Amino acid sequence: MAALGAMAVVGALVAAGCSNGTAATPKITVTARAGVAPTPPAQGAYFGAWVPPDLGPVYATQTKRPSGKASPSTSPSSESTATPEADDAEVEARDGMTALTGFERELGRRLDIVQSYISWKDEFPRKVDTALLEGGHRTMLLTWSGTDTREIVAGRHDALIRARARAIKATGKPIFLRWQRDMDKASLRDTKIHSPESYIAAWKRLRTIFKREKVDNVAWVWCPTARGFGSGAAQPFYPGDDQVDWICVDAQPGGDYEYRDLSETLKIFMEWARERTKPIMVAEFGVPQAYGTRRAEWLRKAAQTLQNPQIKAVVYFNSNEQAQEQRDRRRRYEVTGDRAAVSALREFATSPYFNPRNLPVTSGG
């Protein structure tokens, strides 16, 4: 199956109109090297997800069923290989693949993009990253947290950045690199971001070091919050068209809404993005468990909203980790165990628009 790096759209791109039929695809450009780094599909949008390794045991209990063919996502790496001597990293890797392939089995297809999160100082690749990278024709969205931007600009972290660049290059795999997402949040201003100018300078230093190391297999993804566009906090952090391959947004509805369609969450961001010649990735979106019986309705509307010709990748956030406490169902986005929501997400993910590589589809679940 073709890797995402082989499906290049680097110059003008004309595809089907958006869901309301009123807009044509704008010219789309990227700085990434086509055929090596991941690039946009000619039509439609890649579908991916964040599926936490801690869901591995949940899906492991569903693996052995009395009948039914395996889904296209089933692979030897998803089988349990735990031993009493297995270390934490091995358990995380095993659970990560079990969770991923279990989620894919419910969707009835293999994902295009699989998300992985690492802290600033985490080693890369960890065992779970290696398992995901080698697990079969999925492209990694590597979300790498940052550190003090002033220290980066001053060169205090050059050795770490160089080591990360070399490690990413050594994978030989196309990787989406999403460095320091949500930089527009006020909570980061006093701790490590400081200002848009400091952030942009740090971004450019990272890119310069990666360029010196000849890292060609990376597409740079700039990703603030959708809420930041409404307040005007996000826009000043944009490093510039020559520094960014994909513009991106994290688009959870937020805990202060009883119900909110994805179209409302994305509205102001999309107005800003239309002025850019960049493909769009929605790297975190999810339907809150608080929406109850309306979750399936929300997902079907979201699928319509995301059929915008500039949106080239969508990544579902199948996790409850953002919940502030157990009763906080407005920030719990897992569909695992919710049959109606899983069915709606399967319709979403297996529609031709969100399956541009024409991957095999089964009945799922």
Secondary structure of residue 303 in the 3-state scheme = helix
Which pLDDT does position 116 carry in this prediction?
A: 97
pLDDT, residue 224, reads 97
Residue 117 included in any domain = yes
Global pTM reads 0.88
Q: Which long-range contacts (CB under 8 A, 24 or more apart) does 88-93 make?
A: 89/126, 89/127, 89/128, 90/127, 92/53, 92/126, 92/127, 92/128, 93/53, 93/126, 93/127, 93/128, 93/130, 93/131
Give domain status of residue 13, yes or no: yes
Q: Is residue 315 part of a domain?
A: yes
User: How far apart are alpha carbons 4 and 16 in whole angstroms?
Assistant: 20
Joined tokens for residue 326: 């157990």
Q: What is the CATH number of the domain that holds 85?
A: 3.20.20.80
The count of structural domains within the chain is 1
The pLDDT averaged over each successive group of 10 residues in the chain (365 residues) is 50 38 65 83 97 92 50 38 68 94 96 97 96 90 97 98 98 97 90 95 98 97 96 97 97 86 97 96 96 97 98 97 88 94 97 96 73
Q: What is the CA radius of gyration of the chain?
A: 20
Does a structural domain hold residue 202? yes
Helices assigned H by DSSP within 253-294 = 262-273
Structure tokens at 88: 């934490």
Cα-Cα-Cα-Cα torsion 33, 6, 165, 203, nearest 10 degrees, comes to 60
Is 171 contained in some domain? yes
Domain that holds residue 93: 4-63+72-354
DSSP state of 151: H
281, part of any domain: yes
Q: How far is CA 341 from the centre of its chain?
A: 20
Is residue 360 a part of any domain in this protein? Answer: no
Each residue of 260-300: pLDDT tens digit?
Answer: 999 999 999 999 999 999 999 999 999 999 999 999 999 99
- Maximum CA pair distance of the chain? 60
**Is 303 within a domain?**
yes
| Non-local CB neighbours of 77 within 8 Å, separated by 6+ positions | 97, 131, 134, 135, 136
